[in-house]
Amino acid sequence: MIPGLAAFLLLAAPAAAEIPAILFSTEAFVSPSTDTYSRTEGAIDRVFILRTNVFDPNVPGEGWWPFQIANRIHIMSKEHVIRRELLFDPHGRWDPMEALESERNLRSSGFIRKAEIKPLPRPGGKLDLAVETQDSWTLQPQINVGTEGGDKYFLWGVEENNLLGFGKSVSLFHGQFGAQRRNEARYRDPRLAGTRQRLTGIYAQTDKGDEIGALIDRPFYSLRTPWAMSLLWSRVIQQDELYNNADWYSKFLQHYTAVQAGVGARINQDDDPVQRIHFATHYEKSRFERTPDTAPLTLPQDRTLSGPLVGYTLIQPRFIKETYIDKMQRVEDFNLGNEFALSGGPMLKSWGGDRDRWLVRVQDQQGYHIDEGRFFLGQAAATGRIAGGQLENALLYGSLNAFWKTVWPLPQTWVIHGEGNVGHRLDGEHQLVLGGNTGLRGYKNNSFTGLKSALVNVENRVFLTDELFHLFHIGGVAFFETGAIAGDGWGFRNSRFKSDVGIGFRVAPSRSATGSVLRMDLAYALNQGPGPSRWVVSIRGGQAFQIFNSTNRNVLRSPSAQLGEESAGARLRRQ
């Protein structure tokens, strides 16, 4: 989504001759190094917070008067807001892990464009730390019109991600996706009353009814955090649709209520790996309502799950900092160490459930570093329920991603993504889906559905690494994709793989809060699919496929997940 300020500045710009020329450089394409951190030792003496506004007048071209007006309008992040995210003792010894975690917390805030902690050695084994941050432009009037896989959407509203410089977020949006409409207000406070507790609240009016939800949690904000907690309540009314050949064949309403309370604790003192245990009580109820568009024998049975949950996680910290992976120039953090999670528990009639069940979920994630800007990241998981000795809503899935950066002949990132899913007795509102909205851009949305899926995406992302007019990063892509869906009991030999090729244009507002890309893709289907044309145009925010869970995200996503979704477009498209 392009911030309203950026659009205004382009319209207000004088002749191009007055705008600084674009210099081509590969310097920004180099992966940020953490070597200095690991080599540094000493006791911390002083900590300096060096804040920079959205535009830095010390950078050639950013002293231009419209940029300075924008700086005056923008309220900078308060110094104490930056300082409270620093995990290290300001008078303790230098710790590389705490410094890197502090940077990650600042970058994930949603209002900091850049964050770096620089150790400055002094005589006598002392260190001064310079904490350098630069704000994003966070007041974003937004008008977003787009198309993807043959479906059009429209979204308008306003969002402020750093209210008065205190790091709080508030948004008001109206959206239309096809015939569905949504009006919503959302508030997020990452430091409720100055504590480590976070508050997220949402209220929405849709064609189907009111939605409301609240989440209060204290996260594991660092690897050394001793405990965490969460309280969630959510009530959602949404329309579920079942698809065949890119067209719906059944629609029904889902009335969903969820309540969950949980605590977690670190159970070891070692930093490598970090181990945690979690306890929670879980309640969710799904009631399904027939509509005039509900096909016979497709209305799912009502479900109520209620019971205790216990979980265990292991995290091996091997974090790297990268640029030009999913975003442009923004530093992205990836953990290439092992991350293992196991959770489950009984859902009991005696606790209010409709029958006795067991919930089980296991997931493992692992990365592998090859060289600067070149790495693999994979994930495998299984989730489901056991009732009466039989599996239900079971899903086995895995993803493997390869990223390979090179500067010849232009700065570019090759991305290869592969994923597979096998479902068994999925709940009646769930389908595995392949189409324009799930990684096959040459086909209409929801073109192919079933219980087994395979998807491979190969994309070459080419970048101009310097800013255009100090407002945008631009680039292009070429891609090839192939995938297949099979029904229950069928193999992929009976399901022909569908493939497409295409090219696209990328633009990323460099001063925006998210740093995400706006993509414009033109894809051509190599095989016949639903619809009269093999050409499909997509215009929307974000990459065309996710690192994990492209085709199964609607199966894994619960309706209450909208509380944590930062993208208004993602919340809209699910309804």
Q: What is the CATH number of the domain that holds 88?
A: 3.10.20.310
471 and 374 assigned to the same domain: yes
> Residue 12: what pLDDT?
38
Q: How far is CA 548 from CA 281, 314, 362, 398, 455, in A?
A: 27, 19, 15, 8, 12
DSSP SS3 for 442:
coil
- State the DSSP string of 57-85: TTSTTTTSHHHHHHHHHSPPPPHHHHHTT
In a domain, 438, yes or no: yes
Q: How far from each other are the two terminal CA atoms of the chain, in whole angstroms?
A: 20
Tell me the C-alpha to C-alpha distance, in Å, between residue 142 and each of 3, 62, 71, 98. Answer: 6, 24, 19, 36
- Give mean pLDDT in consecutive 10-residue pieces for the chain, a chain of 575 residues: 39 37 64 85 94 94 92 95 93 92 93 93 92 93 73 85 94 84 93 94 89 96 96 94 92 96 96 96 97 96 98 96 91 96 98 97 97 95 96 97 92 96 95 92 92 96 89 95 85 80 95 86 94 88 88 88 76 61
Classify residue 504: in a domain, yes or no: yes
pLDDT of residue 251: 94
Query: Is the domain of 261 the same as that of 364?
Result: yes
Does 542 map to a domain?
Answer: yes
536 in Cβ contact with 436 (< 8 Å): yes
CA distance linking residue 377 with residue 418, whole number of Å: 11
CA distance 41 to 480: 48
Statement to judge: residues 60 and 36 lie in one domain: yes
pLDDT, tens digit (0-9, with 9 covering 90-100), for 41-77: 999 999 999 999 999 999 999 999 999 999 999 999 9
Q: Of all helices (H) and strands (E), which one includes residue 107?
A: helix 96-107
Q: Could you give the CA distance from residue 92 to residue 94 in angstroms, rounded to a whole number? A: 7
369 Cβ partners below 8 Å, 6+ apart?
318, 320, 336, 375
- Say whether both 125 and 145 belong to one domain: no
Q: Which of 262, 347, 362, 348 is nearest to 312 (CA)?
A: 362
- The whole-angstrom separation of Cα 206 and Cα 208 is 5
Query: Does the N-terminal peptide bond of residue 119 adopt cis geometry, omega within 30 degrees of 0?
Result: no
Q: What is the domain count for the chain? A: 2
Whether the CB-CB separation of 539 and 1 falls below 8 Å is answered with no
In a domain, 372, yes or no: yes
Residue type, 61: G
Enclosing domain of residue 215: 139-299+309-574
Please check whether residues 427 and 446 belong to one and the same domain: yes
- The answer to whether residue 9 sits within a structural domain is no
Same-domain status, 187 and 237: yes
Interhelix angle 65-73/4-12, rounded to 10 degrees, is: 150
The domain boundary residue, chosen from 89, 116, 135: 135
Q: Can you read off the two tokens belonging to residue 429? A: 């509102």
272 and 413 part of one domain: yes
| Rounded-to-integer distance, Cα 550 and Cα 433, Å | 9
Please check whether residues 114 and 200 belong to one and the same domain.
no
Instruction: State the pTM of this model.
Output: 0.89
pLDDT tens for 192-227 read: 998 999 999 999 998 888 899 999 999 999 999 999
The pLDDT value recorded for residue 148 is: 67
Last residue of a domain, one of 95, 113, 135: 135
Torsion of the alpha carbons at 57, 58, 64 and 66, rounded to the nearest 10: -20
pLDDT digits (tens, 9 = 90+) for 311-345: 999 999 999 999 999 998 899 999 999 999 999 99
Q: Are 40 and 119 in contact (CB under 8 A)?
A: yes
| CATH classification of the domain holding 248 | 2.40.160.50
Contact 456, 483 (CB under 8 A): yes
Cα separation of 414 and 407, whole Å? 11
Same domain, 353 and 450: yes
Q: Is residue 22 part of a domain?
A: no
End-of-domain residue from the set 115, 135, 155: 135
Residues 440 and 509 in one domain: yes
- Residue 121 within a domain: yes
Residue 17: inside a domain, yes or no?
A: no
Q: Do residues 362 and 412 share a domain?
A: yes
201 shares its domain with 56: no
pLDDT value at position 17? 35
